[in-house]
Amino acid sequence: MSVFIKIKDQQLGPYSYNELKKLVTEGSFDQDDLVFSEASNEWVRAGHLEELRKLFPGPVSTPSERMVYAIGGGKGGVGKTVLTASIGIGLAALGYRVVMVDADLGGANLHTCMGILEPQYTFYHFYSLQKESLSDILLDTPIENLKLISGACGTLGLANPRYSQKLRFINELRKIDADFILLDLGAGSSYNVIDFFLAADHGLAVTTPEPMAIQETFNFLKIALMRKLTREFKDDPDAINRLEQEVFADSGRMSQSVGAALQKLAGEDPAAAKRIQGILDGFTPSLILNMVHSEDEVKEGVALHTAVEELLAMKMNFLGYVEHDESVRRAVKELRPFVVDDPTSRAAKNLAKLITVGLLKKTGWAGFKEKRRVLRQVKQQNKEYPSQQIRESETICSVQCFYWGDCEYQNGGYPCPVRHLDPIFKS
């Protein structure tokens, strides 16, 4: 038996059973550290592999982590935040305990999608150590089983946290008492965004069918893959450098596929190539296509899915799509999640299917029943969800707004169409 292990985010090995036993005796490896399971093609806790349980004295600990989904994709304006809010509501409607986390640290707006204009606590209270844990800044929402951690909009220093602060944030996330944690990421492909995407149990990439959005989403996944390989190969950077030189031309464009470059590397360094293949097999992000106008546009999502698998040599799940629907835009203006605002809309029905079939893998009759249950529950929530009495915004939409590059409702010179910036500018 020979396995790779991961300790404090560093991949090591392969180690034999006797070598692992020695590490356990030395106190440098325990049941909560990760081991790559070839049977399931994923990283699992060492104490939960039957063949390793004898290494550890006492009972096997129960995992404290929750299922974390990071929702990103690179381009701004594709509807990540709006989808995050409605996915959270859909999961909560099925009885799951859900926490939504606004991880757009420099331009938070998930709270406004839920109609919360001035959150009592934000990520700033955790960042500044005023609160000890993320559980201390959980906010109630109008939806049962659904809580929110609000970002700290526009607070200097939060948009670029130190790596140690990111680690603390990620570690604390896994202690939250919930079934699902939805991490709403900011736009772009900075390492802050990428690191959160990679730290999650599942990465969901959201894009629209437009060519620029498709291209940016592919680039986002490409950067995420190389970031993951670089971090996993801190002990052997030469292998990743060789792979990168083979894949990318001087202009930064791909000169050949990752699979072709990996095949060449296998002839020079078989151990490194096998290790890279294991990482590729374990990195399986999912794709959501948003604002789809026609069935033909769904093909754009299929094309991106194919390009990722063929060019980046990694698997990707196509979870589904949400149609373009004017009811979504209307709901956003009224600070209401679209799935609650109009449960009979095409977008709401698409979302219910995306949750039950795509995320929860319910198929056939079971999937149909769960989809109906989501829509039935949100229809009831529609009656109880509080309405905001919103006057027309006094804030004028402008390129000077720090949301300008990310906002999907840019309308320069007119009152802010999202209608939630007044409390921020006046505070």
The residue extents of the domains of the chain are 2-55, 67-384
Instruction: Read off the pLDDT of residues 187-224 as tens digits, 9 standing for 90 and up.
Output: 888 888 898 898 888 999 999 999 999 999 999 999 99
Q: What is the DSSP string of 263-275?
A: HHHHHH-HHHHHH
Given a contact cutoff of 8 angstroms between Cβ atoms, the answer to whether 305 and 318 are in contact is yes
Three-class secondary structure of residue 159 per DSSP? coil
**211, two tokens:** 């060519």
218: left (phi over 0), alpha (psi -120 to 50) or beta: alpha
Tokens 């529950």 belong to which residue? 377
Given a contact cutoff of 8 angstroms between Cβ atoms, the answer to whether 134 and 176 are in contact is yes
CATH node for 67-384? 3.40.50.300
**340, two tokens:** 């609650």
Q: What is the pTM assigned to this prediction?
A: 0.74
In this prediction, residue 419 has a pLDDT band, given cuts at 50, 70 and 90, of very low
Phi, psi (rounded to 5 degrees) for 99: -125, 125
In this prediction, residue 71 has a pLDDT band, given cuts at 50, 70 and 90, of very high
Given a contact cutoff of 8 angstroms between Cβ atoms, the answer to whether 68 and 117 are in contact is no
CA atoms of 164 and 150, how far apart (whole Å): 20
Given a contact cutoff of 8 angstroms between Cβ atoms, the answer to whether 335 and 112 are in contact is yes
Beta-carbon contacts of 103 under 8 Å, excluding residues fewer than 6 positions away, are 70, 151, 183, 184, 185, 186, 196
pLDDT of residue 203: 93
Work out the angle at residue 327's Cα, subtended by the Cα atoms of residues 423 and 104, and round it to the nearest 5 degrees.
Answer: 45
Instruction: Read off the pLDDT of residues 287-342 as tens digits, 9 standing for 90 and up.
Output: 999 999 998 899 988 899 999 999 999 889 999 999 999 989 888 888 889 999 99
Work out the angle at residue 192's Cα, subtended by the Cα atoms of residues 71 and 75, and round it to the nearest 5 degrees.
Answer: 50
260, amino acid identity: A
